[in-house]
């Protein structure tokens, strides 16, 4: 995909914003730092323009992202029906809005900001670059090209998107663009130390306790190339933990040196299963996630469905074994 021309995009984006009276900003289900950080940066920017706006998310914000300035404005829905512009942040399909999808379908105009592959979400204006490390990179570049004032709060929100989507500049998607945008955000007052501390070093005890259980019960298969864990409702009860406490767990499974594919299945509500998939190199876990109605990136994807945990585990593990065998 060709690199977008940010000068052109900036122009179009400023135009669309100036024509709107009230904006609805949408984040994806099971939100991460990129969707929340980018959405909040947009919200702060619109505040600066004096433009009324709401930010919504299907789920509650994970506890490690609650330090973000403005996070309290994120609601699980909205009563208002007078939004005339939707900003859809960090998702490849409107289904990722979850239960809020219908609210967005009635907003007359939309702008999509995203970096996922393949990209299917519609949008009257599309700020899409599948080579960007994070949606926050696309948004920051757009704001830079608009000569928008980047406040400290905006810089911290955008940095959070880049730090989380690149795994603190460690994942394969870390590129010069992500690093230079991050550098510029730090110059604007973004606090990278605060971002890293809050995201990685402020875990509740319940989370670390549940992690211990996951590591204790994980399975290593296929000559130690596949590692998976499954957390049942009662495991959450025993640790007094909730699904937001499992942020980053699957990466611990992928950290084993022989492991090429890692999966974590969680029964976050009775019979409701969430699956996080991670891989190294050529193994395409996004393709696997799509078969189960989910999506994501080549090396990081997810899906969710309704069935008993053991059944879900059998299905997913079988499919991942095929994925390992085929590449
Ligand atoms: Mn993202």
Full-model pTM: 0.82
**Residue-level pLDDT at 135:** 98
35-49, 120-134, 205-219, 300-314: which range is least confident on average?
120-134
Cβ atoms within 10 A of the Cβ of 21, count?
10
Rounded Cα distance between 316 and 265, Å, is: 9
β 125-128/219-221 pair status: unpaired
β 272-279/226-231 pair status: unpaired
> 30 CA to middle of ligand 1, Å?
12
> 223 CA to middle of ligand 1, Å?
32
> 37 CA to middle of ligand 1, Å?
10
Instruction: Return the closest-CA partner of residue 281 out of 308, 300, 265.
Output: 300
Helices (H), 172-273: 176-187, 192-200, 205-217, 233-238, 249-254
Instruction: Return the closest-CA partner of residue 157 out of 192, 112, 197.
Output: 192
Sorted by where each starts, the structural domains of the chain and their CATH numbers stand as 6-200 (3.90.1640.10), 205-326 (3.10.310.30)
How are strands ordered across the β-sheet holding 300-306? 219-221, 226-231, 261-269, 272-279, 300-306, 295-297
DSSP assignment of 106-132 equals TSSEEEEEE--SS-----SEEEE-TTS
Rounded Cα distance between 276 and 249, Å, is: 9
> 254 CA to middle of ligand 1, Å?
20
Residues 42, 94, 90, CA angle at the centre, nearest 5°?
40
- Is 121's pLDDT higher than 70? no
What are the pLDDT digits (tens) for 25-57?
999 998 999 999 999 999 999 999 999 999 999
- Backbone angles phi and psi of 131, in degrees to 5: -90, -10
CB-CB contact of 88 with 109 (8 Å): no
pLDDT above 70: percentage of residues in the chain? 98
> 83 CA to middle of ligand 1, Å?
24
């Amino acid at each position: 995909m060709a690199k977008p021309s940010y000068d052109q995009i900036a122009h179009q984006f400023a135009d669309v914003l100036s024509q709107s009276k009230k904006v609805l900003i949408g984040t994806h289900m099971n939100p991460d730092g990129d969707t929340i950080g980018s959405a909040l940066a947009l919200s702060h920017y619109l505040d600066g323009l004096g433009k009324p706006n709401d930010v919504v998310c299907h789920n509650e914000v994970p506890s490690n992202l609650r330090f973000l300035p403005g996070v309290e404005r994120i609601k699980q829905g909205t009563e208002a029906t007078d939004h005339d512009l939707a900003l859809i942040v960090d998702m490849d399909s409107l289904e990722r809005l979850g239960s809020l999808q219908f609210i967005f379908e009635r907003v007359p105009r939309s702008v999509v900001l995203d970096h996922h592959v393949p990209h299917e979400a519609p949008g009257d204006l599309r700020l899409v670059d599948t080579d960007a490390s994070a949606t926050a990179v696309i948004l920051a570049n757009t704001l830079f090209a608009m000569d928008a004032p980047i406040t400290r709060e905006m810089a911290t929100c955008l940095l959070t998107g880049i730090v989380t989507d690149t795994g603190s500049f460690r994942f394969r998607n870390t590129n010069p663009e992500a690093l230079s945008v991050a550098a510029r955000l730090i110059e604007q007052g973004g606090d990278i130390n605060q971002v890293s501390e809050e995201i990685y070093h402020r875990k509740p005890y319940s989370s670390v306790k549940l992690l211990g259980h996951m590591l204790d019960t994980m399975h290593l298969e296929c000559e130690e190339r596949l590692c998976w864990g499954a957390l049942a409702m009662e495991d959450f009860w025993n640790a007094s933990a909730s699904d937001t406490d499992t942020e980053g767990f699957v990466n611990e499974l992928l950290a084993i040196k022989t492991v090429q594919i890692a999966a974590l299945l969680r029964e976050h509500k009775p019979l409701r299963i969430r699956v996080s998939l991670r891989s190294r190199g050529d193994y395409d876990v996004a393709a696997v996630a799509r078969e189960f109605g989910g999506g994501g990136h080549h090396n990081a994807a997810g899906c969710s469905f309704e069935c008993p945990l053991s059944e879900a585990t059998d299905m997913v593990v079988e499919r991942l074994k095929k994925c390992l065998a085929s590449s």
